[in-house]
Structures are given as C-alpha cells and as structure tokens.
C-alpha cells in the first residue's frame, strides 16, 4: 500500500512538464544522477552522462524521473505490474500511449499487462519452463548477455515465425531479457494456447562485397535508432528486412553514430575483404500452439 501511494505521488509530479532537461536517477544512497537512460533492463539501467555511460543496478535506485512524461508513466506502470497491481499498471500504460500514440514501448506494455491478467484469470502456471518450451520446437541457453536460441525445430511454431538457431532473445513484449537466465525468457515466451507473443531478437548478417548490388539496402534514423528503410526488390541475400534495427556495424555500436557516418562506413566496406557485418534487431510474432 505504501508503495502504491509512492507511485501515485510520483505520478502527480509527472502531470506537468519537468523542469530538468534530462532524466534523473535518485539512488538509495542519496546521490542524484542526471543524463539520458539509454537502456532499461529488469535488474539495471544504463545512463548516458557527460562523462560516458554508467550502469546502475535497480537495487541501488530509489526512483527514476524521465524527461519525457510518457516514459514516466511506463516506468510507474512497470512498478505497479511488479507488485501485481494489473489495473493500475494498465491505466498508467494507457496514459503513456495517450500522451504519445507512437510510443511503441507503451503499446507493448499494455499487451504485457493484458497477458498477465489473462494468465491470472485462467490460473495459468508452468513448471520447468525450459522443458515446456520444447512444445514450441525451441531450446534456449543462458549466456552472459541474452538468452540465445540453442536449437529450433523446422516443424515448430518458433521456426515458422522466423526464429533461427543463434538468435539472441533481446526482449519479450518490450521487456528486456538482458542478463537473465534462459528460464526467465522461457517463462515469458510460454502462454495460453493460441495467443501471440512478440519477441525482439538479435541476429548477425554478413554482406560480402561483389556478391550482389552493394549494399542492397538503405538506412534511416527512426525513433528506435538506425534502421533499414529499404531492401532489394525480392529480398536481400543476407536476409535483411525493412524495419530491422542496425545495432552494430562491423562490431561498433550505432547508438551515437550519425546517419552520414553509418552510410559512409557501409560504402567504404565494399573495398574490404571481409565486407560488412551488421548486428540486427527484429521483432517477430510467435503464435502459440493449440496445446500450450
């Protein structure tokens, strides 16, 4: 109850515009950090500051105030969802979407809350999620970064949705799976029969100069970051798709990379023996089987 009151108190502060032109993190130690939250995970956040990026464990965080009001509502909604207050969480997520109808994170959060409600109403639970996930034709393994697809059967719903061996499971309905064991991702992937789950994957694509019209795709800056805006008619030989997020170019992060520099890197790679390696992030939707 006290936590809920705290959430409502913070919500009141979020109604008007924030005076600070940056995100602010208040630590349990009393320290205050300012910058831009560039990553949010279950157990930590990454803050970009004037002195570089800083990783902060959630166990050390008291509150976070975002410069964008809609992000505050999603943050508070996640706090409510963690306390199993689904009604409050859903209301906060809907408010975020009302403030910014293009905010994909809020749409995903609404679906995540609704799925939690459906599971609770049905009394749904699962024992040994990694074993149960084999019904999807899928096996995961834990790594130090993301759970990774160890194997996927061609006849399973995961493969049919576009999941391949070696893919990293980045997020499920927008909830980061970074630094989580495979069992957590498996539990989130599983759900009621004939429902859909949105999975964000990470996959590498290698382009070899001389194999096709170089580079065979175009890029733009989208709200999600550097994105593939167009591919060759009929499909790209390396499997690129329109809408893919280019997370790394030749192993270098694109978070702070200007579009012109990214395009220049792509064109210069034509003359290199190794060509170009892109680390892509893509959303796929898995239709859960009838027997879930």
Q: Do residues 130 and 189 touch, judged by C-beta distance below 8 A? A: no
Q: What is the mean pLDDT of residues 30-54?
A: 95
Q: How far is CA 110 from CA 127, 167, 187, 284, 292, in A?
A: 26, 26, 18, 18, 22
Tens digit of pLDDT for each residue in 181-239?
A: 999 999 999 999 999 999 999 999 998 876 667 888 999 999 889 999 999 888 898 89
Domain boundary among 122, 152, 176: 122
Tally of domains within the chain: 2
Residue 46: is its pLDDT beyond 90?
A: yes
Considering the domain architecture, whether residues 156 and 71 belong to the same structural domain is answered as no
Considering the domain architecture, whether residues 91 and 108 belong to the same structural domain is answered as yes
Considering the domain architecture, whether residues 40 and 182 belong to the same structural domain is answered as no
Residue 18: is its pLDDT beyond 90?
A: no
Q: Which domain holds residue 110?
A: 2-122
What is the model's pLDDT at position 11?
52
Computed over every residue of the chain, the mean pLDDT equals 90
Give the CATH number, domain containing residue 193.
2.30.42.10
Considering the domain architecture, whether residues 173 and 290 belong to the same structural domain is answered as yes
Residue 53 in tokens: 């990026």
The residue whose two tokens read 């959303």 is 283
Domain boundary among 122, 146, 171: 122
Residue 274 in tokens: 């190794």
Residue 100 in tokens: 């910014």
Considering the domain architecture, whether residues 78 and 59 belong to the same structural domain is answered as yes
Report the distance separating Cα 230 and Cα 236, nearest Å: 10
Considering the domain architecture, whether residues 138 and 17 belong to the same structural domain is answered as no
Considering the domain architecture, whether residues 12 and 74 belong to the same structural domain is answered as yes
Considering the domain architecture, whether residues 104 and 16 belong to the same structural domain is answered as yes
Give the CATH number, domain containing residue 89.
2.30.30.100
Please indicate, yes or no, whether the overall pTM of this predicted structure exceeds 0.85: yes
What is the model's pLDDT at position 209?
74
Considering the domain architecture, whether residues 283 and 256 belong to the same structural domain is answered as yes
Residue 20: is its pLDDT beyond 60?
A: no
Considering the domain architecture, whether residues 219 and 260 belong to the same structural domain is answered as yes
Report the distance separating Cα 92 and Cα 1, nearest Å: 17
CA distance from start to end of the chain: 35
Tens digit of pLDDT for each residue in 249-279?
A: 999 999 999 999 999 988 888 765 668 899 9
What is the model's pLDDT at position 275?
82
- Would you give the DSSP letter of residue 60? G
Considering the domain architecture, whether residues 138 and 283 belong to the same structural domain is answered as yes
Considering the domain architecture, whether residues 103 and 150 belong to the same structural domain is answered as no
Domain boundary among 99, 122, 145: 122
């Amino acid at each position: 109850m006290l936590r809920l009151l705290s959430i409502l108190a913070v919500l009141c502060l979020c109604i008007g515009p924030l005076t600070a032109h940056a995100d602010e993190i208040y630590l349990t130690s009393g320290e205050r950090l300012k910058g831009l939250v560039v990553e949010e995970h279950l157990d930590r956040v990454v803050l970009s500051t004037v002195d570089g990026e800083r990783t902060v464990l959630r166990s050390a965080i008291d509150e976070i105030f975002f410069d964008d009001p809609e992000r505050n509502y999603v943050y508070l909604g996640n706090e409510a969802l963690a306390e199993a207050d689904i009604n409050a969480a859903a209301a906060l997520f809907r408010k975020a979407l009302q403030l910014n109808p293009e905010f994909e994170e809020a749409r995903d959060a609404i679906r995540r809350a609704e799925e939690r409600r459906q599971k609770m109403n049905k009394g749904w639970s699962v024992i040994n999620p990694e074993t149960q996930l084999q019904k999807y034709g899928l096996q995961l393994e834990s790594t130090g970064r993301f759970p990774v697809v160890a194997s996927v059967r061609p006849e399973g719903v995961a493969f049919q949705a576009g999941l391949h061996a070696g893919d990293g499971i980045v997020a499920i309905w927008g909830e980061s799976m970074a630094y989580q064991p495979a069992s957590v991702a498996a539990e989130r992937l599983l759900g009621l029969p004939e429902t859909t789950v949105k999975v964000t994957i990470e996959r590498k694509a290698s382009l070899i100069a001389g194999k096709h019209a170089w580079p065979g795709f175009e890029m733009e800056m989208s709200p999600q970051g550097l994105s593939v805006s167009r591919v060759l008619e009929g499909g790209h030989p390396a499997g690129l798709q329109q809408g893919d997020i280019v997370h790394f170019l030749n192993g270098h992060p694109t978070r702070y990379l200007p579009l012109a520099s990214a395009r220049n890197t792509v064109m210069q790679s034509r003359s290199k023996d190794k060509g170009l390696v892109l680390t892509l992030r893509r959303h796929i939707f898995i239709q859960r089987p009838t027997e879930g």
